[in-house]
Structure 1
Amino acid sequence: MDGVDVYDLEYPTYEGVRLAKVEPLLRDAGKVINDIQDLKLGPEAVILATFPRSGTHWVYEITHMLLTGNANYNTVSREATFLEGLPDLGPLQFYNHIVSTHLQFKWLPKQHVERGGKIIYVIRNPKDVAVSFFEVLRNTLKELKRLAEFLEVKIADPLLKEIAEKCQFDNLKTADKSVRNDEALSKIMRAVSLNEHPTIYRKGEIGDWKNYFTVAMSEAFDKANADNMDDIGLEFEFE
């Protein structure tokens, strides 16, 4: 896809669902999803499933620290294990750490789902997601403890506090530029002819949508959300 500007391309779709503009999906979305479904992860693997711009990198880093039992940043970027962004899933066969995806549940690795492997699903106020596209932070310690219990790891309170500090937005933003030593994101960007990395860390604020939505826009969004999402059993606080 040399010489192709990703912004000029249509979003790839599969079964009527719009997907990310990454090279493998742009080439053959069906094959990518079939390969992901057939992927055999290790028994200790954790799938981080999110909608884009919903705190994926934040939760990825927190989960890494909880699983490794220390507050050191991961030197491998989240993109290195981004399932639909990789041209070859071979290195992830029997992988035993965190992999991430923006795909729907029905397209996740079948073996992992069938054996009850751990899946972390991150949701965020969709109004903040919309604003984040255009250009989850409350009770951090409580949520860290809950996540540690789900992962079945025992973490002492002092370390939980250190992890919370290391994973504050500004600290993560700085670490993303100074700690990573792999080229996974660079390869993905070069594949779609982007010279600069996209902005992964924007503001990290709750409720920033209020600075962009008019009252009419907010009401229209609420109606669309009610019409399409009322039956999923999840509630959002539109602060």
Structure 2
Amino acid sequence: MADSQPKPRYTPGVVKEEDIVRIPDMKGNVKEVMEVEGMVVPCDVIRSGHVPDMRENVKKIRDMKCRDDDIFLCAYMRSGTHWVWEITNMLTTGKLDYLTRPKESAMMEFHYPEEFDEMPSRRILNTHFPLRLLPTEVKEKKLKVIFVQRNPKDVTVSSYHFLQKGKLMPFKGTFEEFFMLFTTLGLMVSWFDYTLEAEKAIKDKELDIHLIYYEELKKNPVATIKRLSEFLGTDCDDAYITKVAEMCSFKGMKKANEEVKDIEKFLFEKDIMKGHYRKGEIGDWKNMMTVAQSEQFDEIFADKMKDCSFKFDFLK
């Protein structure tokens, strides 16, 4: 029997002809997108009804009423959001239990803010939106923000494989075509712009941000999780943190995704969850990028990120 097809959960957005920007790809096909708060959003996402109309939701998110103990987990797509979300839950609850609901159930672009009202505290809300689109109260109340970084070459390759299976923002072209897309427009927002904006927020101390590098979490999980625990003010000893690191290994997370998540309550998320865990390795970009693509990426990176203080581990 075929899987049940999820029905739209929201009223599909109407896109006016004058708001559409048509971008041709390398094969002459045309992608219809529109600009929303500086993001390039596929029109199909607006029309789908699977997520709230972003044009309305970004305004609602900005005005969202936050609790004093809310945590906001921010990362560019495919940078380790699920991983840190599970870790943060174990640190804040003091329980070595995987969440039964998928990460998308607490994802801000997938829901209107009022849908989070029933969530128990401490709420861990996550987003791939740029930091400037966080609720105004995050800055005013100095709420905790976790920012996860991953080297952009691995982000590129991981995003390509993920979106090949995706239904909300599917990409059916070649990796060469995706490479060009990622290094120019990015995925809704340029990775380079997204990262530089976050760096400025950290330098200017606009937000109470804790920075986590994906690669450091992979290589030194216990020490990295301990620093996160201290930032969150959770009372976790070294023995507990070691158990969290063990449970949130790639193998453990993948198994939980397949066996623990209550996917029947989240049919739309079910399709997305299928592509979450592929390899989780550092340097997997070397198995996909050609030498020419790697060199081209290095040139773009050197130009756009020349003044950036973040240090990325590409495992060259």
Q: Shared fold by TM > 0.5?
A: yes
- Counterparts of 1:136-215 in structure 2, within 5 Å, are 136=214, 137-181=218-262, 185-187=266-268, 197-215=273-291
Q: Which structure 1 residue ranges, 5 or more long, are not aligned?
A: 190-194
**Would you say the 8 A contact 2:154–2:283 is kept in 1?**
yes
Alignment equivalent of 1:31, drawn from 52, 56, 63: 56
Q: Structure 2 counterpart of 1:91, which letter?
A: E
Query: Conserved in 2, the CA contact under 8 Å of 1:77 and 1:184?
Result: no
Question: Which residue identity does 1:16 align to in structure 2?
Answer: G
Alignment partner, residue 221 of structure 1: 297
Q: 1:113 is matched by which residue type in structure 2? A: K
CA shift digits 1:124-160 (9 cap, x unpaired): 0000001101222111111001000110112111111
The answer to which of 55-64 and 170-179 deviates more is: 170-179
Alpha-carbon spacing, 1:70–1:196, altered in 2? closer, same or farther (3 Å): closer
Worse overlay, 45-54 or 171-180: 171-180
Instruction: Give distance in 2, aligned partners of 1:120 and 1:197.
Output: 22
**Contact 1:80–1:184 at 8 Å: present in 2 too?**
no
State how 1:55-94 maps to structure 2 within 5 Å. 55-86=80-111, 88-93=112-117
1:17 to 35, 39, 64: 39
Say yes or no: does 1:133 pair with 2:159.
yes
The RMSD of aligned alpha carbons is 2.6
Using the TM superposition, give the Cα deviation of residue 228 of structure 1 relative to its aligned residue in structure 2, in angstroms: 1.8
C-alpha distance after superposition, 1:48-73 (max 9, x if no partner): 00100011100000000001112111
Q: CA 1:196 to 1:133, structure 2 compared with 1: closer, same or farther past 3 Å?
A: closer
Change (3 A) 1:93 1:60: same
**Counterpart residue number, 2:190:** none
Distance in structure 2 (CA, Å) of the matches to 1:120 and 1:38: 20
Show structure 2 runs of 5+ residues with no match.
1-6, 13-29, 162-213
Contact 1:131 1:209 (C-alpha < 8 Å) held by counterparts: yes
Amino acid at match of 1:39: M
Deviation at 1:19, TM superposition (A): 4.5
* Cα shift at 1:183: 5.2
Pair 1:109-2:135 in alignment: yes
What is the one-letter code of the residue matched to 2:241?
Answer: L
> Residues 71 and 145 of structure 2 are in contact (CA less than 8 Å); yes or no, is this contact kept in structure 1?
yes
Letter in 1 for 2:39: V
Match of 1:61, as an amino acid? Answer: E
Give the superposition deviation at 1:9.
6.9
Number of residue pairs matched by the alignment: 229
**TM-score when normalising by structure 2:** 0.66
TM-score w.r.t. the length of structure 1 is 0.86
Runs of 4+, deviation exceeding 4 Å: 8-12, 19-27, 182-185, 195-198
Code of the residue aligned with 1:227 in structure 2: it is D
Percent sequence identity over matched residues?
36
Choose which of 128, 144, 150 in structure 2 pairs with 1:118.
144
